[in-house]
Structure 1
Amino acid sequence: MKDRWKSSTVLAGALPALVLGTFATSAAAQDAIRVISHRQPALEYYTEQMVDALPEGRVTIELMPIDKELELASITMSSESDAIDVVYLNDSAFKRFAANGWLEPLDDLWEKYKDEYDLDDFPQSVVDAVSYDGHIYSMPILTNTELFFYRKDVLDEAGIAPPSTMSEYMDAAAELDSPRMAGTIMSLKPVDAALNEAHWYMNAIGDGWFDEDWRPIFNNEAGVEAITMLKEMSEYAPRGFTSHANDESTINLQQGLAAMGLQWFTRAAAMDNPEQSRVVGKIHWVAPPGGGARVANDGFAISKFSSADKEEVFKMLAEAASRESMREGAKFAMPPRLSLLEDPDLAEEFRWYPAARDALESGKPFPAMPDFLDVGEIVTRHILRAVTGEAEVKAALDQAAAETEELLASRGYYDQ
């Protein structure tokens, strides 16, 4: 980043309604382009690139946990307010925002600037991932996948190979669990973190979430087996795992408080950060045992209700997503550009890249429905009831399936 340009970055922790009031007032006074985003290393980097793309004071950034960010964006855009110009959206949230008509179509600007910013370097699968109903709505910023993090020194000392199946994972977690170090991390904070963890189990052990007609199958025999194993695995997780998301699990790995577990690619570099990590060089990675962990293509979208110059905003996003920017950002996230995905130097420079490529091959995205996050609110609530022993696994999943069908029927998913 150019030294003379400084970002205006807020780390939000307050309730979204309170944040919105304060943020809208201050940003409006500056007449700035207002960007809100989830807080994680890759997105901190890319939002800084947006700040760099325009003169000092033109861009303000607000970073927060993803649940607060999506709640704030939903409140703002559902009221058709112009208090937000740019919003970070993961793949599942993107579909809901696009279906609600809250995002600005980018097709004309994409065509106008595709040569200047080499937008054809994005694979068609990535462009499809940021498109809805035939229109592009988001600038792809990162391809993310979940990896299996593990303490190589700890597993080597115990004579345990990195697990390749869920049963091997369970056995390793049980053997390594101790009062000093949990056998595995586990992120079950509702909704996003818990849904990510459950998604892995539902694919690696279960049959997935839905049949071809969007009828729930997560409560069938295989689904019950999957969540039963999740419950059993929780015995080897750190205390408080039901309130842990990515930040908490990252810290548990960095501080040597857990031996292994599922975590995002974007958290890999933090393991080797000597200012934060006590396990520099000790964490290694493989594709998640059993496959089926989440793969996501995320990006930044322009609010339909923004009063900013949308062409200027688009160019700001394109600068942040340029090949040069993404080459530098590759230490934080897998860049969704063909020229970089095929760069052998990246695999040599960043030791977690080979595992990430394997994980991309075996991973699965969330179901392609705009309402999946709403389904996730239902499902994770009942999964947590099962994991904590409040309800039997089968009964909890049956209740979740019934409520899911009721929701989807009310939204027109099924023929009457």
Structure 2
Amino acid sequence: MKKMNTLVSSIAIACAFFGGSVHFASAAECSGTIRVLAQPRDGLTLLEKYKDEFAKLSGGADFKIDYLNENDRRAKTKADASTIGKYNVYYVDEANVALFASSGWLAPLQNYYPKDYDYADFDPGRQKVATYDGKVWFAPLTGGGDLMVYRKDLLEAAGIQPPKTLDEYVAAVKKLNQPDKGIYGTALRGQRGSGANVWRWMPFFKGFGGQWFDGKTPVFDGDAAVKATQTYLELFKYSAPGSQTGGWDEAVGAFTSGQVAMLIESTPLVGMALDKKSSQVADKIGYAPPPTPLTGGGYGHGLAIGAKANKDEAAKQCAGLFIGWATSKENEQRRLAEGQFSELNRTSVMTSKTFADMYGAALGQALADTGKVTAVNFWQSAQWPDLGDRWGIILEELITGTRTDIKGGLDELNGFAKDLVARGQ
């Protein structure tokens, strides 16, 4: 690995005290097994091939990764982190980092993440999502923002340039909508849920200047939320069939099957759209950042240091060393070589010649550009899923027409939020 000698030398020198700067434990202190609780990811499985490399780097340490599906992983991580602390490293995501950090179940990552592994190289959007209360809590394994993906052939035939503003996007969606030919202007998510319809609605809300709270007072029933909802509902008139009650799978499936002209979705979409085995439009797509003023919906999953299992500074340093190695440029280059598109997180990798040769330079540039406008759109709170899911129900009712009063729905949500905050105090 790059800078192996430097790292090994650093590890071999134990500091007399911990004064806030990063230092590494001695090789002997890293000779045990680092236990990791995660959900299945190809990038983590790939690490198993290089256990000898990590052992050499750390002075003899091993690692063992236990895998659970997403829901079970979240439940077990919460139970373990809050009680016995069996695991040194946890796989966490944007939905639970606020709870874990505020509860003291994690150690701040950058106190122990080796500087040689260059945390600043991660995509800016991933860094934002990994940050809570001014501190970084995990190193990204997967994540993204939003990209506008479009059918070049359809835009060219209609004489439309890729939209740069939301007004241009709405106009293009209307013009490109040809249901009699099986082509729809766009595809959205109508299915209820904080990670479904609300996730796709939030870039409109934040782009129009909305915010969730002013201190502890909910303030999302104003003009920004109303305008965001009106715009979202307007676009649904031109959305592919099935998307009114569908989620990610339905929206992305409609695009890759050739039914959709333009789509704004999370960046892993691109890997699917470019896969000729599953996409009918692999040779016809272009990419750009979301049209202004939309913000990209930032999300991320990654590795964090458990506070309970790592009972002293030496143990935390070893956990940090494992995380640094697991998310290093070298291991990300290995994931790139394996075609693991959704597990690329580093700017240096996504703008590399190897990436350009595999996916095209235009995609690398689009990803770099969208990283600059990616934002944390959701409320960073342990109570976010409750609030987001409640709005998801109301929003689905507005999309399907069983509810028509936008402002009334938002006022109802505001009241729910006040009760939610009061219960949490």
Report TM bin, short chain. Answer: 0.7 to 0.9
CA RMSD of aligned residues (A): 3.6
The correspondence of residues 225-374 of structure 1 with structure 2, limited to 5 A, is 225-290=227-292, 291-304=294-307, 314-329=320-335, 332-333=341-342, 337=346, 339-340=348-349, 343=352, 346=355, 349-367=360-378, 369-371=380-382, 372-374=384-386
Percent of aligned pairs with the same amino acid: 22
- SS of residue matched to 2:296: coil
- SS of residue matched to 2:417: helix
Question: Number of aligned pairs?
Answer: 370
Q: How many Å separate the matches in 2 of 1:355 and 1:120?
A: 19
- Give the structure 2 partner of residue 27 of structure 1: none
Contact kept? 1:50, 1:319, Cα under 8 Å? no
Cα shift at 1:172: 2.7
- Give the structure 2 partner of residue 407 of structure 1: 420
- Give the structure 2 partner of residue 154 of structure 1: 154
- SS of residue matched to 2:253: helix
2:48 aligns with one of 51, 57, 81: 51
Q: How many Å separate the matches in 1 of 2:169 and 2:134?
A: 41
Cα shift at 1:199: 0.8
Q: Go from structure 1 to structure 2 and tell me whether the alpha carbon gap of 1:87 and 1:171 turns closer, same or farther (over 3 Å shift).
A: farther
1:94 aligns with one of 97, 116, 120: 97
- TM-score, with structure 2 as normaliser: 0.73
Letter in 2 for 1:388: T
Structure of greater Rg:
2
- SS of residue matched to 1:59: strand
Q: Go from structure 1 to structure 2 and tell me whether the alpha carbon gap of 1:257 and 1:375 turns closer, same or farther (over 3 Å shift).
A: same
Cα shift at 1:397: 1.0
Cα distance per residue 1:147-177 (max 9 Å; x no partner): 1111111222222222223333233333324
Q: Go from structure 1 to structure 2 and tell me whether the alpha carbon gap of 1:334 and 1:259 turns closer, same or farther (over 3 Å shift).
A: same
Q: Go from structure 1 to structure 2 and tell me whether the alpha carbon gap of 1:78 and 1:239 turns closer, same or farther (over 3 Å shift).
A: farther
Cα shift at 1:192: 0.9
Letter in 1 for 2:203: W
Contact kept? 1:387, 1:393, Cα under 8 Å? no
1:393 aligns with one of 406, 413, 418: 406
- Give the structure 1 partner of residue 395 of structure 2: 383
- Give the structure 1 partner of residue 165 of structure 2: 165
Cα shift at 1:72: 3.1
Cα distance per residue 1:180-225 (max 9 Å; x no partner): 2332111233121222211112133x32123543533332123212
- TM-score, with structure 1 as normaliser: 0.74
- SS of residue matched to 2:174: helix
Contact kept? 1:292, 1:364, Cα under 8 Å? yes
Q: How many Å separate the matches in 2 of 1:225 and 1:187?
A: 18
Name stretches of at least 5 consecutive residues in structure 2 with no aligned partner: 1-32, 53-61
Name stretches of at least 5 consecutive residues in structure 1 with no aligned partner: 1-30
Cα shift at 1:144: 1.6
Letter in 1 for 2:79: T
Q: Go from structure 1 to structure 2 and tell me whether the alpha carbon gap of 1:153 and 1:85 turns closer, same or farther (over 3 Å shift).
A: farther
Cα shift at 1:81: 6.1
